[in-house]
Amino acid sequence: MAGTERLKVNLVQGENIVQTVVRGQIEVPEAKPDVEKILSKEAKAKVRSVSIVPDKVIVDGTLTLQVMYVAFIPDQSVHSMHADVNFTTYVDVAGAEPGMDYVVEFTVEDVSLTPSRDNACKSDVAAVLSVFAKVMDIDELEVLTTTPSGNEALETQDITVEHMIDDKATKQVIVSDTFELPEEKPDVENILDTKAEAEVTGKRVLAGKVIVDGEVRLRVLYTGMVPEQSVHDLHHVIKFSDFVEVPEAQPGMNVQVRAEVESADVQPVVCPKLSADVIVKLTVFVSETRTLRNVPTRLKDESGYTRKKLKVDREVGAGETQVVIRETTEVPEPKPDIMKVLESMVDRTEVTETNILKEKVIIRGYSDVEVVYVSVKPDQSVHALHQRLNFRTFVVVPGAEPDMKVKVKVTPEFVSVDQQCADLHTEAVLKVKATVTEMSQLNVYVPGVAPTVAPTPTPCIPTDYTVKSGDTLSSIAAAHGITVAMILAENPQITNPDVISVGQVIKIPCKPMG
């Protein structure tokens, strides 16, 4: 009798990548001088929420811009500002259905700022984003692991999969804090807007549960309690730790955690304090890696078995390195000079860019170091300041290729801050780990005969269509009652769904029946 093994696998149902253009406006904050010349701009995009409808993934995102500019004032001093542009886009993903799990990633490919014709304090934003979406669904199946007696395996393969422990587990947690305004900020008269992002900073599996450490980053926009009622913003980080029950989980298993902010509320309490309540949804997947040896992937006699194709993410390899970053800076105005450093810590580390080369991953990012110190003021008051340390490094990952995916984890290992006259010399050591994956298609057999399909007439043959002026893939798909994903599947030569040429001939697949 042939051997089998029951697997529960998070199968890839479909994926796609498209380009989209985000447009909007940003405005110089009231407290900042007008812009004479933009020196530099950085942009990153983050997911706010995701909705899945049949064959489509709808994404709400935020484009955050950090702009450094020369001010339109006599001394032409240099200033910086940041602003957000919210947007909505979608990705056609054949096979997507409500309730499936997903992965959505943004890459900012280009961003431009031009002065607005209507308001000198505003700039028009145009950013080109690459949007990657993948949908998965958990499937449980009995996989044939040995060749049936009397049969012959024409092909065998070692396969490695992540066997899911239970289904995905979710939990809503309330993250709350009461905190004071920074000294340099005026008291709050009215809260105008609150934005919150949640990030998982640590996770570990215990018996029957997963412990999740994370932080919520708040950005609060408010009118100050000052005569001119100027608008100000402040940032605050709330750390949290909670658990999600997964009855069959055991130490040593693999875990993935996603944290999403569902609501955030910040209100003034006793001046100068604010109270924050944030609801965070945690989604947890626990799995264990299983490798099956010499699995039959092609049988001479397939009677009694159904061949099934599994699309799964396969780890290609991982590597890590250490990075030492150093920076010497002056104490920023209006902070007082330093008499003694009390404490220093890495407050935040973020990866801003990754680039996979052959067997190597190039990584850029930054670490924000918080320094707590005693000032030289007569009252020797205690202050805090932040330094941003940029880093660039690479990690060797055998087997990595440019078209694969990579996840990077940066762990601060050491930070030291020394005072050198009026300057601060900061040194930090980071551990950088890169894990490269690719989507793998595995052929396996499951017991049971595939249902008999009634003979059908000659299959519909795709027709040729010549692209006309003004055509887009979306308009062509709508006119023929099909989806963009179906056109892309029939036309692998189209690598960018937003770029087609007048006169280009493409194949139009048949309209689905039923």
Residue 170 maps to a domain: yes
Where is pLDDT greater, at 9 or 33? 9
* Calpha distance 270→53 (Å, rounded): 45
The confidence score (pLDDT) of residue 161 equals 86
Count of residues for the chain? Answer: 514
Q: What digits encode the pLDDT tens for the residues 19-60?
A: 999 999 888 876 677 777 888 888 889 898 899 999 999 999
Model confidence at 112: pLDDT above 70: yes
Other beta carbons within 10 Å of 503: 9
Sign of CA dihedral 237, 241, 246, 251: positive
- How buried is residue 249: exposed, middle or buried, by Cβ count under 10 Å (0-12/13-18/19+)? buried
- Evaluate the CA torsion angle 365, 371, 375, 379 in order and state its sign: positive
Residue with tokens 């036309």: 491
Q: What are the backbone angles phi and psi of residue 301, rounded to the nearest 5°?
A: -120, 115
Cβ distance 381 to 372 under 8 Å? no
CB-count burial class (<10 Å; 0-12, 13-18, 19+) for 487: buried
Which range, 36-45, 263-272, 387-396, has the best average confidence (pLDDT)?
Answer: 387-396
**For residue 149, what are the CA distances in angstroms to 3, 181, 299, 302?**
10, 75, 12, 12
**Does residue 1 belong to any structural domain of this protein?**
no
pLDDT at 19: 93
- The CA-to-CA distance between both ends of the chain, in Å, stands at 41
**Residue 477: left (phi > 0), alpha (psi -120 to 50), or beta?**
alpha
Q: Considering only 21-30, 174-183, 247-256, which range has the smallest mean pLDDT?
A: 21-30
pLDDT of residue 484: 82
Residue-averaged pLDDT of the chain: 87
As a whole number of angstroms, the distance between CA 230 and CA 232 comes to 7
SS3 (DSSP) at 479: helix
Is the same domain home to 342 and 428? yes
Clarify whether residues 368 and 469 are in a common domain.
no
Pick the more confident residue, 489 or 293.
Answer: 293
Nearest CA to 347 among 236, 197, 207?
A: 236
Same-domain status, 215 and 256 = yes
- At 480, give phi and psi (nearest 5°): -105, 5
Residues 83, 183 within the same domain: no
Residue 429 and residue 362 share a domain: yes
User: Given this model, what pLDDT does residue 514 score?
Assistant: 47
Q: What is the pLDDT of residue 381?
A: 78
pLDDT at 2 (0 to 100): 74
Query: Residue type for 26, please?
Result: I
**Residue 8 maps to a domain:** no
Lowest mean pLDDT among 161-165, 225-229, 254-258, 323-327: 225-229
Is the pLDDT at 207 greater than 90, yes or no?
A: yes
Given a contact cutoff of 8 angstroms between Cβ atoms, the answer to whether 90 and 49 are in contact is no
In angstroms, how far is CA 259 from the centroid of its own chain? 11
Does 272 sit behind a cis peptide bond, omega within 30 degrees of 0 on the bond before it?
yes
- Top pLDDT among 74 and 109 is at 109
Q: Establish how many alpha carbons lie within 13 A of residue 184's alpha carbon, considering only the half-sphere containing its beta carbon.
A: 13
Distance CA 394, CA 357 (A): 10
232 domain residue, yes or no: yes
pLDDT classification of 502: cutoffs 50, 70, 90? confident
Degrees to nearest 5, angle at CA 44 with 39 and 49: 150
Residue 402 reports pLDDT greater than 70: yes
Give me the percent of the chain exceeding a pLDDT of 90: 42
Per the structure, how many domains does the chain have?
A: 4
Given a cut of 80, whether residue 236 has pLDDT beyond it is yes
**Stretch among 58-62, 71-75, 84-88, 445-449 having the lowest mean pLDDT:** 71-75
Query: Measuring CA to CA, which residue among 400, 380, 283, 311 is closest to residue 339?
Result: 380
The single-letter DSSP state of residue 488 is H
Quote the CA–CA distance of 207 and 474 in Å, as a whole number.
Answer: 49
Q: Indicate the pLDDT class of residue 459, thresholds 50, 70 and 90.
A: low
Asked if residue 265 and residue 194 are part of one domain, the reply reads: yes
List the strands of the sheet with 231-245, edge to edge.
Answer: 188-206, 209-224, 231-245
Question: What pLDDT was estimated at residue 470?
Answer: 81
Which residue did the predictor score with more confidence, 179 or 272?
179
Structure confidence at residue 421 as a pLDDT band (50, 70, 90): low
Does residue 6 form part of some domain?
A: no
121 and 48 within one domain: yes
* Amino acid letter, residue 260: E
The C-alpha atoms of residue 132 and residue 91 are separated, in whole angstroms, by 8
Query: 241 and 323 share a domain?
Result: no
Please tell me whether residues 133 and 31 are part of one structural domain: yes
Residue 356 within a domain: yes
Dihedral angle computed from the Cα positions of residues 17, 108, 399 and 395, in that order, rounded to the nearest 10 degrees:
-160
What's the CATH number where 486 sits? 3.10.350.10
Q: Name residues whose C-beta falls within 8 Å of residue 270's C-beta, 6 or more positions apart in sequence.
A: none
Name the most confidently modeled range: 431-435, 452-456, 496-500. 431-435
Examine the domain organization and report whether 169 and 282 are in the same domain: yes
Instruction: Tell me whether residue 144 is in a domain.
Output: no
The verdict on 247 and 348 lying in the same domain is no
118 and 54 within one domain: yes
Element (H, E) at 481: none
The 10s digit of each residue's pLDDT in 275-328 is 999 999 999 999 998 889 999 999 999 998 999 888 887 788 999 999 999 888
CA 421 to chain centre: 41
Residue 483: half-sphere exposure toward Cβ, Cα within 13 Å: 16
Residue 71 belongs to some domain of the structure: yes
DSSP 210-221: EEEEEEEEEEEE
Question: Regarding beta strands 405-420 and 4-27, do their DSSP bridges make them parallel or antiparallel, or are they unpaired?
Answer: unpaired
Per-residue pLDDT at 343 exceeds 80 = yes
Last residue of a domain, one of 121, 138, 155: 138
Calculated CA dihedral for residues 263, 268, 274, 280, nearest 10 degrees: -10
Can you give the residue range of the structural domain that contains 59? 13-138
pLDDT at position 419 is 75
